[in-house]
Structures are given as C-alpha cells and as structure tokens.
Structure 1
Amino acid sequence: VLVPYLALAAKARGFLKSPRALRALNRTAAGFMVGAAAAIAARQ
C-alpha cells in the first residue's frame, strides 16, 4: 500500500533539490498559513 507513496516521495525529493522549487514551496506554504490565519480571525 505504501509503495506508491514511496515512489512519489522519491520523485519529490529530487524535484525539491533546486532552490527555485524550494522557494515556490515555501511561498505556497506561507500562502496557506496566511489563509488559515485569516479564516481563524474571521471566525472570531
């Protein structure tokens, strides 16, 4: 069951070695965090 996940992780590891890909990942993660913070702030 875990073999497809292992294969995907191996490909992602190779892809994320480039600085450009890491920058894109960091910006995407930051966007999700900002969105979550805005959603939490809007609820209260």
Structure 2
Amino acid sequence: MSRKDILLSIRDGLLFGAGLGLLVILGMALLAWMVLTIVGMVA
C-alpha cells in the first residue's frame, strides 16, 4: 500500500465512524422524543 492509499483509508474510516456516531445520536434522540411524547400523552 502506498502512503496515499493509507491516508485515504484512514479518512474513509473517520468519515464512516462520524456518520455512524451521528446515526446513533439521531436514533437515541428520536427514541427519547418518542418516549417523552408517549409519557406526555399518558400523563
């Protein structure tokens, strides 16, 4: 592997990790919002 290939793979890994983290955060926020909405309806 050349140095450029290594740098590209590192960049792809970071982008993938950031995207995954964002998805997890969005999913948790959505879940929390749904729970709060349901609790708000019941209460």
Shorter-chain TM range is 0.5 to 0.7
Q: Which has the higher contact order (CA 8 A, sep 6+)?
A: 1
Runs (5+) with no aligned partner, structure 1: 1-16
The structure 1 segments of at least 4 consecutive aligned residues displaced by more than 6 Å after TM superposition are none
TM-superposed deviation, 1:32: 0.4
- Percent of counterpart pairs with the same letter? 14
Q: Which has the larger radius of gyration?
A: 2
Aligned to 2:7: 23
Q: What's the Cα RMSD here?
A: 0.5
Q: If the length of structure 1 is used for normalisation, what is the TM-score?
A: 0.60
